[in-house]
A and B are shown apart, each in its own frame.
Chain A
Amino acid sequence: MALKEVHLILGGPQGAGVETTASVLTASLAELGYGVMSDREYYSNIVGRHSYVHFTVSATSFPRSLTYPVELMGAMDAESVFTHFHEVAEGGVLVYDTGLEASRLMQVVSMEPEVRARVEARLKAYGVEPTVAGAVRAAKEGLKALPVGLDYKGVLEEARQKLGVTSVEVQRYRNSILLGAAAAVLGLDPDALREGLAVRFRGNKKVIEANMVVVELAMDSVPGAARGAARLEPSSLDVEEMLSASGNDVVGMAKIVGGVRYQAYYPITPASDESVFIEAHQSISVDGKPVGSIVVFQTEDEIAAVNSAIGAALTGVRAATATSGPGFSLMVEGLGWAGHNEVPLLITLYQRGGPSTGQPTRGEQGDLLFSLFASHGEFPRIVITSGDIEEVFYDTIKALNWAERFQVPVIHLLDKYMANVIASMRVPDPSAVKVERGKLVLKASGPAKRFDLSEAISPRPAIGSGAITWYTGDEHDEWGHISEDPINRVRMYDKRMRKLEIMDQEIPPEERAVYYGNGDVDFLLVGWGFVKGVALDALEELRAQGYHGAYLHLKVFSPFPSRYVSAILSKFSPSRVIDVEHNYLGQAAMAVRMYTGYEISRFVLKYTGRPIYRMELVDAVKRILEGKSTREVLTYGE
């Protein structure tokens, strides 16, 4: 029977190309019209530690969440088998290398001791040997999965002979064994893989054909019973083309389309890929005609990054930076200067596990309150978050517009999950957005009152416009000169802070919080950012089980849509409002309480660094609804 949705994992050592294989598979599936979403889990390591890509593939929609068990697990190495054998569904396929059957758990030196202990206990519980063969037997007998052992060495040797290359060279195509095996299990036409390889390798025929030799050999080695074991039904998604990219890429695209012409950054995981993307597209032409250039400036630290971006913004250029928690910590003083001097600035903040270095390559939503309050003193700011890569695209442009309209710094709060997720979406349409530059003045002359008190939001002549303007981090008068006068202080303070009210009036609440719920619902999930997809999918699953709930997606935390959110919350019984977040404190719930006075008392939280999976959220919500618990802490996933 063909499936509407398939879940799979491809695992292997970091640096061995699993990511490339995943991107080829994603492109191949997109070419066939399937919606794909994949999460990349990896250590802070260049070579050798375990990494895997976890997919949801759908024939009917763009997937929004990940879940277990998987219908296909493809392992490049022993560690992948040990780490994931227990996650294969009944009837699902475990592809592994028969050459590794004798490998013992103790021999996997790259495995962290805690993981090894957990795997050892698991194997023991299944009553099998701590070897790859044992794990495979556990999958087969304990889980009723279908192990598919392939002789990786044999496949490569055959390929080597066909290609006439050395045994070292042929190793480059090793990952295509997984690709071929996955294609066979998913029932994909090899031509689709050729297309996927062509996308990934930009039409390099030699590389494509060499990989195809391995793909086809691997497909042929998959036994009949496993072929099409996780066959997808033909796609019914009505799309002619798809954008398939990571969250980092999509932010980069949106910044370019939205007019960012200056991006400063200091390398940090998981933010730098965005800046690298922009750098690769820094010369812009439309219809073959040059229309502009972007400066991507790699600075000596994040302090320089944020402050040079502020400098660029003063010249009337849309300027931005991208960072993660540790870098944002360094940017905080600059953020205050921008707030005080009413500088439009976009900071894209990809949260990762904190505090300190935390978990550099793992996700978390621990910086919400920090974003709201970072920097000393009071000043208005916007903190906007996005729930999926489509939102990411449009929110980035919105953030740029708001920054200029309201002359405030904007923090676009994303996270590692969003940064590294590779997903497909409809190609966004730039004609659906407008570039709003507010009171920017590009032609002027002579000294100007940059902080003219006649309006909360003053005309903003760019440096270089012909005007002469002054800025200072001290309290200033209308000219931007230092002033310690008490009356001026109050007037200038009020001018800045009044923008909070203006933003609250001018930004529609429905853009700041989105309610997803139809008809009769009797419980509410409250979440933000990456939680959106899994919350919506969990609700669908819960509905099928007789639980009818809604989701309140919080998007803008400053200015917070207090009345709008209060009205929604008040419709539910307090014991049936559940906060879902990737942190310990329930920071969004704290923000809700601060802004509305409403105290959320039920929580589903996860701070392992791994995403919330659909099945664990469904279970946790049920336990809370059934009154068995008020606080669920999720831990699934390796």
Chain B
Amino acid sequence: MASEAAYRTNVWVDWCPACGNFGILAAMQKALAELKIPPEKVVDISGIGCSGKTSHFLNVNGVHNLHGRSIPYAEGIKLANPDLTVIVNGGDGDLLGIGMAHFVALGRRNLDIKVIIHDNQVYGLTKGQASPTLRVGQKVKSMPLPNMQDWVNPITVALASGYTFVARAYALWVDDLKEILKMAIRHRGAAVIDVLQPCPTWNNIYTPDFYKQKLYRLDSDKGWDPFVKSPDPKEAAEKLSRAFERAQEWGERIPIGIFYVNPYVESFADNVSKVNTFYESMPPAKNVIAREDGTPVIDLQAMRSMFRDYIIEVSRNNRRQAQSQ
């Protein structure tokens, strides 16, 4: 069994001491090790900010890209090579601010990509401005004035967007997070895990003490069942409604755990396969595009056949007429 160490690089982890990101990184390494996914088959995609560096600390393929654009990179990689396990690690500002359009679009596509939101309510690397998950009126220590904009709730946005695996975890409860991660990776479809993480440097509201007091596990309620178990749309609708209701809870008690899982929704790749006959057996990354002599696999004859609607044979009569002149 591959050990977690196999998923570590020798790049020094330069997050602040006690940063919640350490928990996320550890959970990632443990989950991948336990699932025994070879590092070369995994792609970690990250955007800008502290969370963006995650890719460099993981011994898997890493694509540390632009602010807010991790999801498009992930989509291109996954669609081109469906064999890869594709995980996005992005900040709350990255995914829910500048990258929100992509976040919503991935949900409606239900493509098999796992999105981990590093949710610490602040922009850390730019010194503590409010992120889209900080509530209106709240003021963390680096802000001169209280927040004038209200939050977006990552769980309700994810549910409304069509994600078929929606969960919340806490970065410092690494084993819980690891288990949720494993389930998300095994799930076939778009998954979101909103990971609450303390930012010891900038966020003096959502501290470990705060979370210790407020967090409770959804599955501590024996009747909580977020898993859709049949293709019946009624069941999905009911469970989705309950998830929405529970997702409103944010105050004295904050739920973590799994809100909603529906394995019966077709993924984007399924829909591509329906119209693209050869996609499943020959996705783009498995195409051979040239012959041994270097010429394209599509030769003149194949081209004539593919584009026959655009190729017009000059009538024989006319050719004869032209030649006789």
A319 to B82, CA, bound (A): 16
* Pair B312/A244 contact, Cβ less than 8 Å: yes
Chain A residues lying within 8 Å of B72, measured Cβ to Cβ, are 299, 303-305, 307-308, 311
Nearest-neighbour CB distance to chain B for A310, whole angstroms, equals 7
**What chain A residues lie within 8 Å of B272 (beta carbons)?**
295
Known: A257-B303, A314-B63, A471-B62. A307 touches B312 (CB 8 A): no
- In the bound assembly, the distance between CA atoms of A290 and B288 in angstroms comes to 11
Q: How far is the CB of A611 from chain B (nearest CB, A)?
A: 22
Q: Mark B71-85, 1 if CB is under 8 A from A, else 0.
A: 111111101110110
Q: Are A309 and B278 in contact (CB under 8 A)?
A: no
B5 at the interface (CB under 8 A from A): no
CB neighbours of A249 from chain B (8 A): 310
- Determine whether B16 belongs to the interface, using a CB cutoff of 8 Å to chain A: no
Known: A32-B315, A243-B307, A308-B73. A464 touches B295 (CB 8 A): no
Q: How far is the CA of A337 from the CA of B284 in the complex (A)?
A: 22
Q: B322: shortest Cβ distance to chain A, in Å?
A: 5
A462 to B285, Cβ gap below 8 A? yes
For B53, B69, B299, B300, the residue with the greatest tally of chain A CB atoms inside 10 Å of its CB is B69
Q: Which of A6-14, A118-126, A234-242 forms contacts with chain B?
A: A234-242
A292 CA to B81 CA in the complex, in Å? Answer: 13
A159 CB–B CB distance under 8 Å: no
Q: Determine if B304 is an interface residue (Cβ-Cβ < 8 Å).
A: yes
Q: A347 in the interface, Cβ–Cβ < 8 Å?
A: no
Report the bound CA distance from A268 to B272 in whole Å.
22
A-facing residues in B78-132 (Cβ within 8 Å):
79-81, 83-84, 101-102, 104-105
The segment from A128-136, A410-418, A473-481, A563-571 that touches chain B is A473-481
- Chain B nearest CB, measured from A24 CB (Å): 12
The reply to whether A318 and B279 form a contact with Cβ atoms under 8 Å apart is no
Complex interface: chain B residues within 8 A of A316 (CB): 285
B146 contacts the other chain (Cβ, under 8 Å)? Answer: no
Give the residue name and chain of the A residue nearest to B320 (CB).
A234
Interface size on B, residues (CB 8 A): 76
Q: For A464, list chain B residues within 8 Å (CB).
A: 40-41, 81, 83-84, 285
In the bound assembly, the distance between CA atoms of A337 and B64 in angstroms comes to: 10
Indicate with 1 or 0, residue by residue over A439-471, a CB within 8 angstroms of chain B CB atoms.
000000111000000000000001111111111
- For A199, the closest partner residue in chain B by CB is B312
Say yes or no: A317 contacts B297, CB within 8 Å: no
| Most-contacted residue by chain A among B272, B296, B312, B322 (CB, 10 A) | B312
Q: A264-B76, A307-B66, A435-B295 are in contact. Are A481 and B282 (CB under 8 A)?
A: no
Cβ of B145 under 8 Å from chain A = no
The answer to whether B312 and A242 touch across the interface, beta carbons within 8 angstroms, is yes
B-side contacts of A206, CB under 8 Å: none
Asked whether any CB of chain A lies closer than 8 Å to the CB of B248, the reply is no
Q: Which of B24-48 contact A (CB under 8 A)?
A: 39-41, 43, 45, 48
- Give Cα A312 to B62, complex, Å: 14
Verify if B144 is at the interface (C-beta below 8 Å from A).
Answer: no
Q: B312 and A286: CB pair below 8 A? A: no
Using known A-B contacts A236-B325, A307-B73, A468-B61, determine if residue A295 contacts B101 with beta carbons closer than 8 Å.
no
In this complex, how many residues of chain A approach chain B with their Cβ under 8 Å: the count is 97
Cβ–Cβ contact B75 & A282, under 8 A = no
State whether B285 touches A315 (Cβ < 8 A): yes
Count chain B CB atoms within 10 A of each CB in A297, A307, A433, A434 and give the residue with the most: A307
In the complex, the chain A residue whose C-beta lies closest to that of B272 is A295
Instruction: Tell me if A482 and B53 are in contact (CB < 8 A).
Output: yes
| Complex contact A311–B63 (CB within 8 A) | yes
- Among B39, B105, B282, B301, the residue within 8 A (CB) of A292 is B282
Identify A236's interface contact among B65, B299, B322, CB under 8 A: B322
Query: Does B11 have its Cβ within 8 Å of any Cβ on chain A?
Result: yes
Contacts of A319 in B (CB 8 A): 76, 80
Residue among B59, B76, B81 making CB contact with A308, cutoff 8 Å = B76
Q: Tell me the minimal C-beta distance from A517 to chain B in angstroms.
A: 30
Task: Determine which of B11, B40, B277, B294 lies in contact with A283 in the assembled complex, contact meaning CB atoms within 8 Å.
Answer: B277
Given contacts A235-B318, A317-B80, 13 further A-B contacts (CB under 8 A): A27-B312, A199-B309, A244-B312, A293-B278, A311-B45, A337-B65, A429-B300, A435-B289, A435-B296, A470-B55, A470-B62, A470-B64, A471-B62
Seen from chain A, the residues whose Cβ lies within 8 Å of a Cβ on chain B are 27, 30-33, 192, 195, 199, 202, 234-245, 249, 253, 256-259, 261-262, 264, 281-287, 290-295, 297, 299-301, 303-305, 307-319, 333-334, 337, 397, 424, 427-431, 433-437, 445-447, 462-474, 480-482
Closest 6 CB pairs of A and B: A311-B76, A259-B289, A308-B76, A435-B290, A261-B284, A292-B287
Binding site for A on B (CB under 8 A): 9, 11, 39-41, 43, 45, 48, 53, 55-56, 59-66, 69, 71-77, 79-81, 83-84, 101-102, 104-105, 272, 275-279, 281-285, 287-290, 294-304, 306-307, 309-315, 318-319, 321-322, 325
Q: List 25 A-B contacts (CB under 8 A).
A: A31-B314, A199-B312, A239-B314, A241-B314, A242-B312, A243-B311, A256-B298, A283-B279, A285-B278, A290-B278, A291-B288, A294-B276, A300-B102, A307-B72, A311-B74, A315-B284, A337-B66, A427-B303, A430-B298, A434-B295, A435-B296, A464-B81, A466-B40, A470-B55, A471-B63
